[in-house]
Amino acid sequence: MKIKVKVPASTANLGAGFDTLGIALSLYNEIYLEESDKDEIITIPKIEEFENPENNLFFKVFKETLKANGENERKFKVKQIVNIPVSRGLGSSASVIVAGIVAGHRVLNKELSDEDFFKIAYKFENHPDNLLPAFKGGFITALKEGEETYYQKLYFPDELKFIVVIPDLELSTEEARKVLPKTIPLKDAVFNLQRVALFISALQNKNFDLLKVAMEDKLHQPYREKLIPNFYKVITNAYREGALGVSLSGAGSSIVAISNRNFEKIGEAMKEALSEVGINSECKILEIDKKGVQIEEL
Ligand code: HSE
C-alpha cells in the first residue's frame, strides 16, 4: 500500500483570538508513505535534521499511532515534501502531527474519531487552534479543557485572501510564549473579548471595515513585538496599501494580512518594512483551505 497525505498550513490567533481562533491555508505539506524493510525518510527540500526517523516528528507521531493500536514491528519508507516553513507561526508541526495520526489510522484500516485524534495529538502539541484547522480545514474556534476539546467551524467569506509575509527568522512557539506575562489586566482581557466577538460577526455580516479594529490585540502581540524587528511598521505598511486586517500569524514570526484587493502591493509593502531592518522575507498569497487533511491511496 502506498499512500499520500496532504495537510494544510494554518494561521492561529488572528489578532484578538489568542489561543482560540485558527484558519487553514492553501499551503500544504505532503507525505508519501509505503511499507518497507526498514524505516527511512527523505525530505524535499532536504532538511538534514528531519531525515532521522528517530527524531522526525511525522515518524514519531505515526509510530505512536501504530503503537497505541498494538503494531510495533512494521517499517516504512517516507517522503516528506516540506512546503510549510518551519518555526514561522504557520502550523508546520500541527500539519505533520495530523498527517502522522491520519496516515497511522489508514495503515491500520481504522476509523479515526475526534477522541482518538486528540488523545495522540496532545502528546505532541497542545494547540487545538493549529491542530484543528490542519485536521478539519476552514475557520475554527477551539478550546481545550483538561482532556476535553470543544470546537466549532465558523463562516469565512471566500473573497478574502491572506497575504502571508514570512521573515527569514525562525521563532519557536515555546520561545514566543516565554515572553508573555503570567497575568494581564482585566481591561486587556475585555479589550480582546470585545474584538474577537466583533471579528467573527464582522466576517459573518461581511462588514469588512470592522476587521482593522477587530484584529487589535493586547494579550500577546505587544509582548512578542520585540522578537520581530519592525513588527508594527509591517502592520502600518499593510494598512497603507489597503489591507483590511493584519496580525501576527500564530506565535510568529510570519505576519498575515487579510484583504479583498491589492494583494501584491500589500505584500511588497510588508516585506519592505522588514528589509529596512535587514530581514529578508518571502510573501505568499493564500486562500482559506476548507478541506483539511486529505488522504489517498496511490
Ligand atoms: N496560539 C498559540 C500562540 C500558537 O500564540 O502561542 C498557535 O498554536
Express each pLDDT in 102-143 by its tens digit: 999 999 999 999 999 999 999 999 999 999 999 999 999 999
Q: Whose CA is nearest to atom 6 of ligand 1?
A: 251
Q: Is 173 in the pocket of ligand 1 (CB under 6 A)?
A: yes
Q: What is the pLDDT of residues 154-206, one digit of tens each?
A: 999 999 999 999 999 999 888 999 999 999 999 999 999 999 999 999 999 99
Return the pLDDT at 48.
84
Q: What is the pLDDT of residues 7-19, one digit of tens each?
A: 999 999 999 999 9
CA of 14 relative to ligand 1 center, distance in Å: 10
Q: What is the pLDDT of residues 269-297, one digit of tens each?
A: 999 999 999 999 999 999 999 999 999 99
CATH class as words, domain 161-286? alpha beta
Ligand 1 atom closest to the Cα of residue 173 is: 6
CA of 174 relative to ligand 1 center, distance in Å: 9
Q: Is 134 in the pocket of ligand 1 (CB under 6 A)?
A: no
Confidence of residue 61 (pLDDT cuts 50, 70, 90): very high
Asked whether the beta carbons of 10 and 256 are under 8 A apart, the reply is: no
CA of 101 relative to ligand 1 center, distance in Å: 21
Q: Whose CA is nearest to atom 8 of ligand 1?
A: 127
What's the CATH number for 2-155+288-297? 3.30.230.10
Using CB atoms within 10 Å of the CB of residue 61, give its burial: 0 to 12 exposed, 13 to 18 middle, 19+ buried: buried
Evaluate the omega torsion of the peptide bond into residue 45 and state whether it is cis, within 30 degrees of 0: yes
Q: Is 178 in the pocket of ligand 1 (CB under 6 A)?
A: no
Stated pTM of the model: 0.95
Return the pLDDT at 158.
95
Q: Is 289 in the pocket of ligand 1 (CB under 6 A)?
A: no
Q: Is 129 in the pocket of ligand 1 (CB under 6 A)?
A: yes
**Helix or strand run (H / E) with residue 51:** none
Asked whether the beta carbons of 227 and 171 are under 8 A apart, the reply is: yes
Task: Output the nine-digit C-alpha cell for 149.
Answer: 476539546
Segments making up each domain of the chain, as ranges: 2-155+288-297, 161-286
Q: Whose CA is nearest to atom 5 of ligand 1?
A: 251
CA of 72 relative to ligand 1 center, distance in Å: 33
Separation of alpha carbons 252 and 12, rounded Å: 10
CA of 127 relative to ligand 1 center, distance in Å: 7
Residue 52 pLDDT greater than 90, yes or no: no
- Average predicted confidence (pLDDT) for the chain: 96
Return the pLDDT at 284.
98
